[in-house]
Each structure stands twice: as C-alpha cells, then as structure tokens.
Amino acid sequence: MRADLIYGSTGTRYLEPVGWVFAIMTFIFLVCAMGLGIFLVVESVPVLRSEGLGFWLGENWWVGESFGALPMICGSLIVTGLAIILVLPVALSGALFTSEYLPPSFRRKVKGVMELLAGVPGIIYGLLGVSFLTVGVKDALNLLDGNTLFTAGLLLAIMVLPTVLTLSEDALHSVSSEFREVAESLGLTKLQTALRVVLPQALPGIVGAVLLGIGRAMGETIAVMLVIGSLDRVPGFNIFVSGQTIPSKLGREAAEALGSGLHWNALMGLGLTLFIMVAILTFSGTFFIKRSSQ
C-alpha cells in the first residue's frame, strides 16, 4: 500500500495529509502554468493580428514598424544546438565513468558536486563568461569581438553539463545489475558491457536528460545576454558573429517596452514562442526519464 493512501471500510481510497499537500501543490502549479500560458496568448494577440505568420518568419525587427522574430528564433536554436553538441561527449563519458567505474562512496561525492554545480545561478556563469570566455574566444579565433553565438553556446554547454551528466548517470545506474552480470559471464569486458549493454538500456533516460538540458539552455537569459552581443539578424551558417536569442531579446527590451503597445505585445509573442518550445522539451524529457525508470 502506498504511504500516502489509506483505505476505508468499503475499499475506497483516501489520501493521507501528506498526499493532500502534494495534490494541492500540484494543483497550484498547474493553475499557475495555465495562467501564464493564457496571459502570454492574450498579450500576443495584437501583434499576431498585425503581423500574422510574418511575426515568426520575418527577419526585420524595427520598433514601431515591423516585428520579425526569426533572428531570435534562429539564434536560440543555434546557441542551444551548439551547447548540446559540445556537452554530449563530455557528459556521456563522465556519466559512464561515474556509474560503471567509480566506487559507490566516491560516486556519491561526485554526484553531490554535480548537483551542486547544477544549482549555481546563471549570473555567476555569465560573469565568468564575460571575464574569460569572450576574451579567450576573441584571442583564439582572432576576432574583432568575442561576443558571438559560439561564445554563448560554449557558455551554455558549461552551464548544462552538470544537469545532463547527473541525469544521464542516474539513467545508467538504474539499469539492473543482472544485465551486467550476464554480459560479464559471456566474456564481455567492463567497457564492452557499458557500451553494448548498459548504454542501450539507459538510452531513453539519457534522451530525457538531454531534452531537459536543452530546456534549461533555451530559457537562459542573463548569462547569454552578457556574451552573445545584440545583433538582430539571421546569422546563417556563421556562428562567430554577434546574435540574439529569445531570452536575451526579452532581457534587453522588456523593461523599456512595458505597456508600450505593439512593442510589448511583440515581446509577449516571443515569450509565448519560448514558453511553447521549453514546455515541449520539458514534457518530452520527463516522459523519456519515466520510461527509462520503468
């Protein structure tokens, strides 16, 4: 019997006080999420009526004239894609090593450090990025300015590495030891067992970890805003130029546009776009992690 359920004389299930607390908190979360979504939709209606599909497909953002979100959408996708490409090899290697090779006592210490780093505020990473990354990228690549899409992607990779690593390690560690014992009895080495047996079994959980990492990377504001520059244009295939993401655009213009007509509605449209993208990634990641645990 679950700890948060009790049964009446007729067999009807009732929630204990602890269960009611969690139920109420879940209900409050759902109400807040739905309220936020409705607010963004209502505030975005004027700009969607004015621009139509041109809001998402337009390349020009001129306050008072036209509002095209394509540069910010492309910037968000490019920066997030770079972060995941850079973080995946390191995160998966670290997760495999931590799960399969470290002793249990040392594994717990490493996990604690990773989870601590995952909770570091984004502004701290942003300050480190301004101090070191921008200068390092500028000098290493001989650029005029170190505030580029590549710098933002590299900074996001550092930020989401602890999250992806610890969640991937959880997925690998949750694989039943029976798989490992059978593989080793058949003559597979520890590395072969990890790569050919454990990794495929944990793949849904790893996919979920990556999706949750993408969700965090896509929603990061301050850290990205400090290192990406502020150029509203579609970057094409050049990642070594200044750009703009949806969160950085909102961070730069939300205060000055508050209540100022169509400009504010356009920013709310960007917020709605980001809200939908992150919600899809988060729910997908949660689904894959639950599937892996089952």
| Tens-place pLDDT, residues 67-103 | 888 999 999 989 988 998 999 999 999 989 988 888 8
Q: How confident is the model at residue 201 (pLDDT cuts 50, 70, 90)?
A: confident
Residue 128 phi/psi, 5-degree rounding, is: -65, -35
- Residue 141 reports pLDDT greater than 70: yes
Domains of the chain and CATH, by start: 70-293 (1.10.3720.10)
Which segments of 119-259 does DSSP mark as H helices, in order? 122-128, 134-141, 149-173, 177-185, 190-193, 199-219, 222-227, 246-257
- Residue 266 reports pLDDT greater than 70: yes
CA distance 192 to 219: 37
Element (DSSP H or E) covering residue 91 = helix 70-100
- Residue 18 reports pLDDT greater than 70: no
Q: Looking at the DSSP assignment, which residues form a beta bridge with residue 62?
A: 66
Q: What is the average per-residue pLDDT within 134-152?
A: 89
Residue pLDDT, tens place only, 26-64: 888 888 888 888 998 998 999 888 888 888 888 888 866
Q: What pLDDT was estimated at residue 86? A: 92
Task: Say how many C-beta atoms besides its own lie within 10 A of residue 184's C-beta.
Answer: 14
Instruction: Output 260 or 223, whichever has higher pLDDT.
Output: 223
Copy the structure tokens of residue 143: 């650029």
Q: How confident is the model at residue 149 (pLDDT cuts 50, 70, 90)?
A: very high
210: nearest Cα among 88, 101, 74 = 88
Q: C-alpha 275: how far from its chain's center?
A: 12
Q: What is the average per-residue pLDDT within 252-281?
A: 84
For the chain, percent of residues with pLDDT exceeding 90: 11
Largest CA distance in the chain: 77
CA distance 275 to 163: 20
Q: What is the average per-residue pLDDT within 203-232?
A: 83
Q: What pLDDT was estimated at residue 152? A: 92
Q: What pLDDT was estimated at residue 17? A: 67
Counting every residue, how long is the chain?
Answer: 294
Instruction: Output 187 or 12, whichever has higher pLDDT.
Output: 187
Q: How far apart are the first and last CA of the chain?
A: 19
CA distance 199 to 205: 10
- Residue 15 reports pLDDT greater than 80: no
Contact present, 208 and 234 (Cβ < 8 Å): no
Instruction: Output 122 or 11, whichever has higher pLDDT.
Output: 122
Residue pLDDT, tens place only, 164-198: 898 888 888 888 888 888 888 888 888 888 888 88
Q: Which residues contact 272 (CB under 8 A, 6 or more apart)?
A: 37, 40, 41, 43, 44
- Residue 1 reports pLDDT greater than 50: no
CA distance 43 to 260: 12
- Residue 125 reports pLDDT greater than 90: no
State the amino acid at position 186 in one-letter form: L
